[in-house]
Amino acid sequence: MIAMNRLLLQAKTPLYHAVKETLRRQIVELYRPGDRISPEADLTAEFGVSQITVRRAIQDLVREGLLYRRQGKGTFVSGPKLAQNLAILNSFTQMVVEQHRSIRSDTISITELSEQDALKHPALRPPVLEVVRLRIVDDQPLALNNSYYSIESFPQLSNLLEEDPNMSIYRVLEERFDVQVSVQEQSLEISFVDDWEANLLDVEPGHPAFLFNITTQNQQHQIIEYVRAVYRSDRCKFTLFPRRP
């Protein structure tokens, strides 16, 4: 312990960075995904540094995705991130299954929007259905989706979702309504979850997240869906393979 503290104090890098790298090595060598690391107070005593230094080191590792926090339960070691190739148009369900991960959905709400709220999605023929679903991968919440559809175009969609909350909506659109998802426009931003989102995603308020706004078209290039999706940044990553034209 004395040797470790001396090494930290002699490091030329900032103290919190030295603590972070020491923690990183410990996590790789001693922990498995899902394990809870020692509380901040114990790590403060172990490293002989201030709790503020330990907290900053942990925050950096959370931002990197090596650790994640659960409200009131502690800090845990993350498993492999879910990888999604943004260049491939695929349903979320199919993408997760192809990576041999388990998936289920919790339906938070299914609502027919008021006329005023429906005007926020002008390309969809009113009335408009709002579907809010929590996507759970490997028994941990990963994404919160707010999706919007024309009820006239897709009658009985709400009933189908109530019968099977885990269904792939894209698969139902294809098999039940003969609609093929053809083109998507996606915008990606960095966001921070609010209290409501944090409670559902099992993270602390203000946790960094990926925010997608998605517009989906069918084979006739008609808009059939809007989606606002919030992904936990510590549990997923996105890839692109740009090529010269």
What's residue 242's pLDDT? 76
- Pairing assessment for the beta strands 223-232 and 140-150 based on DSSP bridges: antiparallel
> If we measure between CA atoms, which residue out of 166, 165, 93, 105 comes closest to residue 141?
105
Which CATH number is 82-239 given? 3.40.1410.10
Residues of the chain with pLDDT under 50: 1-3, 9
- The answer to whether domain 2-77 has CATH 1.10.10.10 is yes
C-alpha distances out from residue 155 to 4, 128, 148, Å: 65, 11, 13
Domain spans of the chain, in order of start: 2-77, 82-239
Q: pLDDT tens-digit profile of 113-149?
A: 998 888 889 899 899 999 999 999 988 899 999 999 9
Does this model's pTM top 0.85?
A: no
